[in-house]
Structure 1
Amino acid sequence: MTNPHFEVFLAQSIREDAENEAGLDRDELYGVYTSWCLMNNEEPQAPEDLWAALKEHRIKPADNHLAMKGPAAADYIIASAPDIV
């Protein structure tokens, strides 16, 4: 069964980008997810739960063409590289 928590995260923070050859790796996916949780006052679920939700969408955490979008993407990027600010 699909979890609405992950559905909203995917809709607000992840997009398919066919031109993005590398896609997002597991750390980036979970990082933008935790940023999204913090910004939306949601309790982060375990990484395994996120991977299961992605699998329901036929998304492979290790092999995809995904890109970040929205406020959670900006938050994750700034938190990952604070020296760029």
Structure 2
Amino acid sequence: MAHSQFDLFLQEATHLDQASDHSLSGDRLYGLYTSWCFINQQAPGMEAAFWAGMKHRISPSHNGLRMKGPAAADYILASCPGIV
């Protein structure tokens, strides 16, 4: 069964933590997606296409998602260049 780019992104770059009160904000989730695309040498979709693809995959209000993997490190370093 073929997985879409969005399914692979969610599998490889996020972790579902339903017990947590915290969720990734929309900006952070899209930023993580662009980092994941960069690492995997894939062209990221436009933000509107990303949200259309996420519409039936996650809850927009409380998604319970956490960052994980190389895309998380890339996103954090790109967001806070003073860290290194």
Q: CA RMSD in A?
A: 1.7
Segments ≥4 residues shifted beyond 4 Å:
none
Q: Distance in 2 between matches of 1:48 and 1:20?
A: 27
Q: Distance in 1 between matches of 2:27 and 2:42?
A: 19
What secondary structure, in the 3-state scheme, does the structure 1 residue paired with 2:66 have? Answer: strand
Equivalent residue pairs, number = 83
Instruction: Report the alpha carbon displacement of residue 3 of structure 1 after superposing the two structures with TM.
Output: 6.5
TM-score normalised by L of structure 2: 0.86
Q: Which runs of 5+ in 2 are unaligned?
A: none
Q: Which runs of 5+ in 1 are unaligned?
A: none
What amino acid is aligned across from residue 71 of structure 1 in structure 2?
A: P
- Hey, what does 1:8 align to over in structure 2? 8
Task: Give aligned-pair identity as a percent.
Answer: 46
Q: Does 1:84 align with 2:83?
A: yes
Q: Does 1:24 align with 2:28?
A: no
Cα deviation 1:27-82 (Å, max 9, x = unaligned): 1000000001111111110112221222222x123422110111000100111111
Q: Does 1:34 align with 2:7?
A: no
Q: Distance in 2 between matches of 1:74 and 1:20?
A: 21
What amino acid is aligned across from residue 59 of structure 2 in structure 1?
A: K
What secondary structure, in the 3-state scheme, does the structure 1 residue paired with 2:15 have? Answer: strand
Moved more, 21-30 or 47-56: 47-56
Q: Distance in 2 between matches of 1:24 and 1:72?
A: 14
What secondary structure, in the 3-state scheme, does the structure 2 residue paired with 1:34 have? Answer: helix
TM-score normalised by L of structure 1: 0.85
